[in-house]
A and B are shown apart, each in its own frame.
Chain A
Amino acid sequence: MSPTTDGRRPRIVVVGHGMVGHRFVAAAVERGLTATHDVVVLGEEPRAAYDRVALTSFFEVGADALSLLPGGAYDDPRVTLRLTTAVVGIDRDARTVTTAEGEEIAYDELVLATGAAPFVPPVPGKDLDGCFVYRTIEDLEAIRTAAAPGPDGTRKRGVVIGGGLLGLEAANALHQLGVEAHVVEMAPRLMPVQLDETGGATLVRHIEKLGLTVHCGVASTEVLDDGTGRVAGLGLRDADPIAADIVVFSAGIRPRDGLARDAALEVTPRGGVLVDERLRSVTDPHVWAIGECAAPAGVMYGLVAPGYAMAEIVVDTLLGGTAGAFTGADMSTKLKLLGVDVASFGDAFATTPDALELVFSDAVAGLYKKLVVGPAPDAPDSWVLLGGILVGDASAYGLLRPMVASGMLLPDNPEELILPESRGALQLGLPDEAVVCSCNNVTKRDLLDAVDVDGAHRCEDLGATKACTGAGTTCGSCVPTVKGIIEDYFTAVGKAVDTSLCEHFALTRQELFDVVAVHGYRSFTEVVEGHGTGRGCDICRPTIASILASQLGGHVLEGETGALQDTNDAYLANIQKNGTYSVVPRIPGGEITPEKLIVIGEVARDFGLYTKITGGQRIDLFGARMEELPAIWTRLVDAGFESGHAYGKSLRTVKSCVGSTWCRYGVQDSVQLAIDLELRYRGLRSPHKLKGGVSGCARECAEARSKDFGVIATEKGWNLYVAGNGGATPRHAELLVGDVDTATLVRYLDRFLMYYIRTADRLQRTAPWVESLDGGLERVREVVVDDALGLGSELEAAMARHVDSYFDEWKATLDDPAKLARFVSFVNAPDVPDPAITFTTERGQVRPAEPDAPVDLGASIPVGAPR
């Protein structure tokens, strides 16, 4: 595209930095539109685009985790993002927009992505203090503040107006904030747009089981005033008012098309900028509208997937493409409430001529499943799926929805699809063009291309496929189907989703863990003879060593297990590039007395070791020859040190900040807790290393949220975060529970760690482990906090056994001549230092000499006799 008349590059101005505006910019960058255009994005909210679909999880994970643009800026210098900048006017003749500060910004193309606003019915009292909507992070922050119990601990009461998808989500959020929650719906049933009468009635029972109160078929008349301008309750027509402190309006949304109206762009009567199939305003060819503010062919779409499709089409069109046209979208929905399964898809109300309904209903079990089928257009006597409703068990949703979209013929007994316990491996029956992930428009073919063993991507597993195609990364409802498809594919090509640990065991680490527990095995030989082949390798031997250590305790160098350990465990030290070892004594919580510091200094000096403060708040002594380790540790153990397990797949450190004892901000004693936790979990063998952190207040000086478990002090107790990671793929730990006392914290942490140890893969840190669990963190919370599997006491008992049986590995080694016998340089010359190891000095300390020639020991070294 040529430059504009005044010589600058053509400029696209995007109004609104929500989910769709962000998608537009991301696509513009990715597809090269910014090579020719500048993009200026003006967003009214104080933060960059975030995942509004997952808005409710803000209460658990906080704003940062929701961000779609974590750095707050695009890498592409052609894109300027300005936040807290509302656009108040458009001058279409001058092609400028005006911001609230009065600044005028010229555009060549204007993209409106202003989204929608919650509709607040014009009832008296709607502006009272205590009335909210549920749309932005700021709304949720305000609701959280209002939901806090009164000074005397009284529980707040809340009413949500609107029993649709969002209303129920909001009501459940209120409930989880500890508010006594009511839902008021004018229609005779919940989710009237998606569910029929029986479906709605079944849902009410599920919702009430969650602890919410549902009022259907009642109209609200006014929000009652307590006399001071605050909400006192909700008045109802023909029913008693509901007393309440909080009222949340969730009675639908209205496109934010005010800017367009003021600029005389045509909008539809029900709201939304009227645009053509390419999302171009029917009034002005230089104005486009995408997302919830747009009404292609007069219809607005209140879901994110259609908005994403629109964004892609506009980018394509501006690039000169002609491929895309927006011709409608899948409005299927699945409710995202913990523990309630509801889905509605396609023609759920059987409005298609000749449609028939197949219904399975079990009122006792709270199940209602309906399939709407119709005659196949060009296959006589065959049927296609048109839509359906699932309440109580929506596990078939991921499979059924793409069946509707693709129009595939139904199997002979379609009722099989909804009968309990009869779900077969139907995924492969889906035609290739079936859209499996509607949020990201990923078809079955896209998935198969991604995993194709001869293809360009060759994704090996679910995680890689998700990352590669984007499938399953938004609402997550398609993940089981995506998983089924790729597993079926791997089975079909004989690449039997190889979950084998290695050539010796056709089992996963988790399966091996169970096998060892069930059979009560105590040695590698028993396990490999019972369930494996050969004599193992560097993969399965340390894995089984770790499993045996987790289950039996005992010394890692005892008997046969000594031969299973990686070199680090085998010598209880970390091997370095020249074959020497490093020594890391435990310094719990990073707290150390001057006396102990002096001992470390003396040991380092006497053995000529390089010393460095580690990233884990302790001190590493490098350059110890293997045969020196016992002498070094004798000195350290005598001074009260113990193994720091820097060599093991086990607990490393629990980092702490100085906390309330010294810090003027500290609200709890973070050092004490860090020491207690480090001592509790020291020596615990696990699938990968474990790290913890404890901060004394929200300033988070201990960086606890980058650890496998992180604890942050609050006024009331502790917040426990889990599954953080530093390393190559950093991840912030997420809140598991908040404001708990120390005993509860330790109980949940015991369960969390043991659950991880039992079920994670070899060398899988907690962050990827949680991600790999079906249900992710929610699943962890069910098991650890809600004790959904009834495993809680067993996991705690397993940890108690670990705590009781802990001993210091180094001290035990020094006390055992058999183990010490391994620490020799040469079996026939135990006191001859390996001459291959040489050092030089640098900055006043030793470092390995660079061995550039082959190691040549010379012939002059005396050879000892066999002992």
Chain B
Amino acid sequence: MSWTPVCTVDDLPRERGVAALVEGRAVALFRTYDDAWFALDNRCPFANASVLARGIVGTRGDVPFVASPMLKQPFGLRDGVCLDDPTVRVQAYAVRVTDGVVHIGPALTDQPTDQEAP
């Protein structure tokens, strides 16, 4: 997977998420309060709907997370692991910002997820 530019820094306010289409997949892009950027698959595995980008962004201890807007399950932004049930995980992707443009990159681990890449 290569790096896909998806938007500019100003397109996404802090502590919010937005969905992006990356090589045909819906990826949720998040920006936290300290201007760190994260990307997860947009599909909430509990709700089976493409919605994670619309969840509330916050912290659990030191872990930045997003609460699924559907039934509030929390997913760590760094690795996509569900904080309440570590057996469930969504794919996380690398993100980098160059010259004010946000790029979504390769999947962060090769661990299998319950959503295989096409």
A binding-site residues for B, Cβ under 8 Å = 503-504, 525, 534-538, 540-542, 560, 562-567, 570-571, 575, 577-579, 626, 821-822, 824-829, 832, 834, 836-837, 851, 854-861, 863-867
Alpha-carbon gap, A340 to B6, bound state (A): 70
- Interface pair B25/A857, CB less than 8 Å apart: yes
- A564 and B56 in contact, given A577-B47, A828-B6, A851-B49 (Cβ under 8 angstroms): yes
- Interface pair A541/B56, CB less than 8 Å apart: yes
Which residues from 1 to 52 on chain B have a C-beta closer than 8 Å to any C-beta of chain A? 4-8, 11-16, 18-26, 29, 32-33, 43, 47-51
Kindly identify which residue among B5, B24, B54 contacts A857, using a CB–CB cutoff of 8 Å.
Answer: B24
B58 at the A/B interface (Cβ < 8 Å)?
A: yes
Kindly identify which residue among B21, B43, B47, B60 contacts A503, using a CB–CB cutoff of 8 Å.
Answer: B60
Residues of A within 8 A of B43 (CB): 836, 854-855
Alpha-carbon gap, A340 to B48, bound state (A): 60
Kindly identify which residue among A577, A827, A851, A866 contacts B70, using a CB–CB cutoff of 8 Å.
Answer: A577
Alpha-carbon gap, A541 to B26, bound state (A): 26
Please give the distance in Å from A857's CB to the nearest CB on chain B. 5
Please give the distance in Å from B62's CB to the nearest CB on chain A. 8
Please give the distance in Å from B99's CB to the nearest CB on chain A. 11
- Interface pair A867/B8, CB less than 8 Å apart: yes
Kindly identify which residue among A503, A542, A821 contacts B56, using a CB–CB cutoff of 8 Å.
Answer: A542
- Interface pair A827/B29, CB less than 8 Å apart: yes
- A534 and B54 in contact, given A827-B12, A860-B24 (Cβ under 8 angstroms): no
Alpha-carbon gap, A602 to B55, bound state (A): 32
- Interface pair B13/A575, CB less than 8 Å apart: no
In the complex, the chain B residue whose C-beta lies closest to that of A859 is B24
In the complex, the chain B residue whose C-beta lies closest to that of A864 is B21
Alpha-carbon gap, A858 to B23, bound state (A): 9
Residues of B within 8 A of A560 (CB): 13-15
Residues of A within 8 A of B102 (CB): 866
- Interface pair A859/B118, CB less than 8 Å apart: yes
**Chain A interface helix/strand/loop/mixed:** loop
Alpha-carbon gap, A863 to B48, bound state (A): 23
Kindly identify which residue among B8, B11, B55, B58 contacts A534, using a CB–CB cutoff of 8 Å.
Answer: B58
Residues of B within 8 A of A538 (CB): 55-56, 58, 67, 72, 74
Alpha-carbon gap, A598 to B78, bound state (A): 50
- Interface pair B26/A536, CB less than 8 Å apart: no
7 further contact pairs, Cβ within 8 A, besides A537-B60, A855-B115, A859-B23: A537-B56, A566-B69, A567-B56, A575-B54, A856-B118, A860-B24, A864-B21
- Interface pair B23/A855, CB less than 8 Å apart: no
- Interface pair B59/A537, CB less than 8 Å apart: yes
Alpha-carbon gap, A783 to B114, bound state (A): 56
Residues of A within 8 A of B112 (CB): none
Please give the distance in Å from B91's CB to the nearest CB on chain A. 11
Kindly identify which residue among A534, A537, A825 contacts B19, using a CB–CB cutoff of 8 Å.
Answer: A825
Alpha-carbon gap, A828 to B11, bound state (A): 10
- Interface pair A535/B101, CB less than 8 Å apart: no
Alpha-carbon gap, A856 to B54, bound state (A): 19
Residues of B within 8 A of A860 (CB): 24
Alpha-carbon gap, A578 to B70, bound state (A): 9
- A834 and B58 in contact, given A562-B16, A566-B69, A865-B5 (Cβ under 8 angstroms): no
Please give the distance in Å from A606's CB to the nearest CB on chain B. 24
Alpha-carbon gap, A743 to B13, bound state (A): 45
Please give the distance in Å from B55's CB to the nearest CB on chain A. 7
- Interface pair A828/B20, CB less than 8 Å apart: yes
Please give the distance in Å from B58's CB to the nearest CB on chain A. 4
- Interface pair B21/A826, CB less than 8 Å apart: yes
- Interface pair A563/B13, CB less than 8 Å apart: yes
Residues of B within 8 A of A824 (CB): 18
- Interface pair A858/B19, CB less than 8 Å apart: no
Residues of B within 8 A of A826 (CB): 18-21, 26
- Interface pair B13/A829, CB less than 8 Å apart: no
B61 at the A/B interface (Cβ < 8 Å)?
A: yes
In the complex, the chain A residue whose C-beta lies closest to that of B56 is A538
Kindly identify which residue among B15, B16, B32, B51 contacts A575, using a CB–CB cutoff of 8 Å.
Answer: B51
Please give the distance in Å from A528's CB to the nearest CB on chain B. 9
Residues of B within 8 A of A836 (CB): 26, 43, 49-50
- Interface pair B114/A854, CB less than 8 Å apart: yes
Alpha-carbon gap, A289 to B12, bound state (A): 77
- Interface pair B56/A858, CB less than 8 Å apart: no
Alpha-carbon gap, A571 to B18, bound state (A): 12
- Interface pair B59/A535, CB less than 8 Å apart: yes
Kindly identify which residue among A503, A535, A822, A863 contacts B23, using a CB–CB cutoff of 8 Å.
Answer: A863
B57 at the A/B interface (Cβ < 8 Å)?
A: yes
Alpha-carbon gap, A535 to B77, bound state (A): 14
Alpha-carbon gap, A827 to B31, bound state (A): 14
Alpha-carbon gap, A130 to B4, bound state (A): 90
In the complex, the chain A residue whose C-beta lies closest to that of B57 is A563
- Interface pair A567/B54, CB less than 8 Å apart: yes
Alpha-carbon gap, A821 to B54, bound state (A): 14
Please give the distance in Å from A445's CB to the nearest CB on chain B. 36
Residues of B within 8 A of A864 (CB): 21
- Interface pair A563/B16, CB less than 8 Å apart: yes
Chain B CB count within 10 A is highest, among A535, A563, A828, A860, for A828
Residues of A within 8 A of B11 (CB): 821, 827, 866-867
Alpha-carbon gap, A567 to B70, bound state (A): 8
Residues of B within 8 A of A542 (CB): 56
- A863 and B4 in contact, given A827-B20, A828-B20, A829-B21 (Cβ under 8 angstroms): yes
A-B contact pairs, 16 of them (CB 8 A): A536-B59, A537-B60, A537-B67, A538-B56, A542-B56, A562-B13, A579-B51, A824-B18, A827-B12, A827-B19, A832-B21, A834-B50, A855-B49, A857-B24, A859-B23, A861-B24
- Interface pair B13/A577, CB less than 8 Å apart: no
Residues of A within 8 A of B56 (CB): 537-538, 541-542, 563-567
- Interface pair B26/A857, CB less than 8 Å apart: yes
Residues of B within 8 A of A832 (CB): 21
Chain A CB count within 10 A is highest, among B33, B49, B62, for B49
The 7 A-B residue pairs whose C-beta atoms are closest, nearest first, are: A567-B69, A538-B67, A534-B59, A836-B50, A537-B58, A859-B24, A579-B49
Chain B CB count within 10 A is highest, among A567, A570, A826, A834, for A826
Please give the distance in Å from A531's CB to the nearest CB on chain B. 15
- Interface pair B48/A861, CB less than 8 Å apart: no
Residues of B within 8 A of A562 (CB): 13, 16
Alpha-carbon gap, A67 to B8, bound state (A): 65
- Interface pair A858/B118, CB less than 8 Å apart: yes
Alpha-carbon gap, A542 to B116, bound state (A): 34
Residues of B within 8 A of A863 (CB): 4, 21-24
Alpha-carbon gap, A560 to B22, bound state (A): 27
- Interface pair B51/A854, CB less than 8 Å apart: no
Which residues from 59 to 85 on chain B have a C-beta closer than 8 Å to any C-beta of chain A? 59-62, 64-65, 67, 69-70, 72, 74
Alpha-carbon gap, A856 to B48, bound state (A): 11
Residues of A within 8 A of B47 (CB): 577, 579
